[in-house]
Structure 1
Amino acid sequence: MSISFKAIAKKNPQSPTEPLRFYASAVSGKNVDIDELAKLIADNSTVSRADTYAVIISMLEQIMKDLAAGRSVVLGKLGKFSISLHSEGAATAEELTSAQIKKATINYRPGNELKDMLAILKFEKV
């Protein structure tokens, strides 16, 4: 198996007069949705598809609760989920209030096993 890629022309934003350069861009294959993931896991284990699906949904709900409570969620080899905040600046720490928070985002950091997988990827130009 390999990652398909195509060439994408881009300008250098620091030097817009330079000629275009071509960069690799991954071509996404078929998406694997939650139903197919549950089926694939069930096919490779002794757990039923319905039970697998229920565990995935339950895990999602629990991750959401923990993140909303300000906790990071560490799933071992899968990785870590956490919340980061984006706010306006305040002149002093005392002046900073929740009103200055513009949005929250979910950060994901893959676990070591997922990161190690990147080193063995093969690539194919399409």
Structure 2
Amino acid sequence: MSIKFRATRLGMPLSHNYGKWYAKMVPIGNITSEQLAEEVSHLSTVTRSDMLAVLWALAAVIRRHLLNSEIVHVDGLGSFRIGFRSRAKDRPEEVSADDIYGLRVVMTPDRKFQQTGVTERNGRTGYFTGELVRGAELSSVNAPTIKQTYR
């Protein structure tokens, strides 16, 4: 099991990296709520239909809290909040709801600090790893034998 990628050329002429190559994730399929419910039901005592009910209810509850301008945190998954774009105005009293556009949900995944050492002043050194990608392996679709593990 690994995350697939391929080399893709940047085609945005105004970018300073125009014409350069970068890695892009290659999806190999989609997973539905029914498939998630089926898998979770095999890992727990919850039936598939109970799991579907929980997923639908969870989505409805998260939506309600987001629409109430709250941040929703799901342990092991991350935090959800509303984000949007807004047209700039010269004075604060000119800003109104009519200036807001591009509403979206912003998801910030949970992260865990991986300590690699200690500094001379007893500070920690290390890096943060997203819990959902910890231990992921990466492989090129052009050269599937080359793999790298992401801590």
Q: Could you state the TM-score of these two structures normalised by the residue count of structure 1?
A: 0.86
Larger proportion of strand: 2
Counterparts in 2 of 1:73 and 1:5: CA distance versus 1, 3 Å: same
Contact 2:73 2:79 in 1 (8 A): yes
Q: Secondary structure at the match of 2:130?
A: helix
Q: Deviations over 1:83-116 (max 9, x none)?
A: 1221111111111111111232211000126704
Verify: 1:47 aligned to 2:62, yes or no. Answer: no
Backbone CA RMSD of aligned residues: 2.0
Verify: 1:77 aligned to 2:76, yes or no. Answer: yes
Q: Secondary structure at the match of 2:52?
A: helix
State the match for 1:124 in structure 2: 139
Verify: 1:7 aligned to 2:7, yes or no. Answer: yes
Larger proportion of helix: 1
State the match for 2:31 in structure 1: 32
Deviation at 1:22, TM superposition (A): 2.5
Which 4+ runs in 1 deviate beyond 4 A?
none
Unaligned segments of structure 2, at least 5 residues:
113-128, 142-151
State the match for 2:106 in structure 1: 107
State the match for 2:85 in structure 1: 86
Deviation at 1:75, TM superposition (A): 0.8
May I ask how many residue pairs the two structures share in their alignment? 123
Q: Secondary structure at the match of 1:108?
A: strand
Partner AA of 2:140 in structure 1 = K
Partner AA of 1:3 in structure 2 = I
Unaligned segments of structure 1, at least 5 residues:
none
